[in-house]
Amino acid sequence: MVEEDMSNMNFQVSQDERPLARKVFSLQVRIVGKLNDVHIFIQQAVPLLEAGRSKFEVSTHKKNRRYYVPVVGRTKFARRKDKEVKAIYDRFITRELYENLIVTAVSQFESFVFDVLRLIITEYPQKLTLSIKGVETNREVPLEVLLRSDNLKDVINEVIDKRLNTISYAPPKAYLEYLSHIVGVETTDPAFLNFIEIKATRDLIVHNSCIINEVYLSKVGDRKRGEIGETVIIDASYFDHCIATLKRVSGIIKREVEKNFPVHTDGS
């Protein structure tokens, strides 16, 4: 292992010559657009699904119908009665569509956050020396990374990728602490606590069938939305809350970048 002193690296490694604040502004405009698109889609989709459900609600057809379903290497059909198809509509209209799009929205938002972190650390590699409690941050550069890299820029980029990958698995509070250290953003706004709860709800959707567990409660504190064993509520109102919160946090991050990494009046 070869140890590098990142604190002495005061050079630029980004090929994008725009000021940092403008790059982050572009990223924030993009994520807000994506989040708005998700919300517009669900507003358009739900009435169409409700219209589709209505024909199965009034159907008197008792026999199974065939529906094509994908299977590797051959054609396959699943059989469902109309009342069963109506139940599928019910699930997605009342809950499952919102669940899936919350997972999508959180994923898009986290991509925004890590794109911002990557931009800042790339421009200021000395920030790689920053660490946070509870997250293992190795300050040594593996010899194989040095041997396979053509130049120091490639080494820095790989170290950044490894660091951000480590942070992505950190607990939510540690995740936000790292963001605070790198960006200089104060995470005291209630939107950040709401984001932690949304991220924890996303984890319940993906990993625990939306059933509240101790892991969820340990993450969210007084933002909890139920007790252990209960199914966490996910509906249109909560979905709106998620989209609004993610947009709010993205705006705070953009604002703090503009404050802490300002565009100079000479355009630099």
Whether 267 is in a domain gets the answer no
Q: CB count, 10 Å around CB of 201?
A: 26
Q: How many angstroms separate the CA atoms of 96 and 150, rounded?
A: 48
SS3 205: helix
With beta carbons less than 8 A apart as the criterion, state whether 120 and 20 touch.
Answer: yes
Statement: the pTM of the whole predicted model exceeds 0.75: yes
Whether 268 is in a domain gets the answer no
Whether 183 is in a domain gets the answer yes
State the residue range of the domain holding 78: 2-259
Reported in sequence order, the residue ranges of the chain that DSSP labels E, i.e. its strands, are 2-3, 65-71, 74-80, 140-141
Amino acid 2 reads: V
Total domains in the chain come to 1
User: b vs e for 110-144, b when ≥16 Cβ sit within 10 Å of the residue's Cβ?
Assistant: bebbbbbbbbbbbbbbebbeeebeebeeeeebeee
Whether 124 is in a domain gets the answer yes
Alpha carbon separation from 39 to 44, 53, 77, 150, 241 (Å, rounded): 9, 21, 32, 44, 11
Q: How many angstroms separate the CA atoms of 138 and 149, rounded?
A: 19
- Per-position DSSP letters for 222-248, written without gaps between them: GG--S-TTSBPP-SHHHHHHHHHHHHH
Q: What is the pLDDT of residues 131-158, one digit of tens each?
A: 777 665 655 556 555 545 555 566 677 7
SS3 10: coil
pLDDT by residue for the chain (268 residues), tens only, comes to 333 343 333 434 445 568 999 999 999 999 999 999 999 999 999 999 999 999 999 999 999 999 999 999 999 999 999 999 999 999 999 999 999 999 999 999 999 999 999 999 999 988 888 877 766 565 555 655 554 555 556 667 777 778 888 888 888 888 888 899 999 998 989 999 999 999 999 999 999 999 999 999 999 999 999 999 999 999 999 999 999 999 999 999 999 999 999 875 554 4
Whether 134 is in a domain gets the answer yes
With beta carbons less than 8 A apart as the criterion, state whether 256 and 187 touch.
Answer: no
With beta carbons less than 8 A apart as the criterion, state whether 117 and 164 touch.
Answer: yes
Whether 266 is in a domain gets the answer no
With beta carbons less than 8 A apart as the criterion, state whether 182 and 202 touch.
Answer: no
Whether 28 is in a domain gets the answer yes
Whether 265 is in a domain gets the answer no
Q: What are phi and psi of 76, to 5 degrees?
A: -135, 145
Q: How many angstroms separate the CA atoms of 11 and 129, rounded?
A: 15
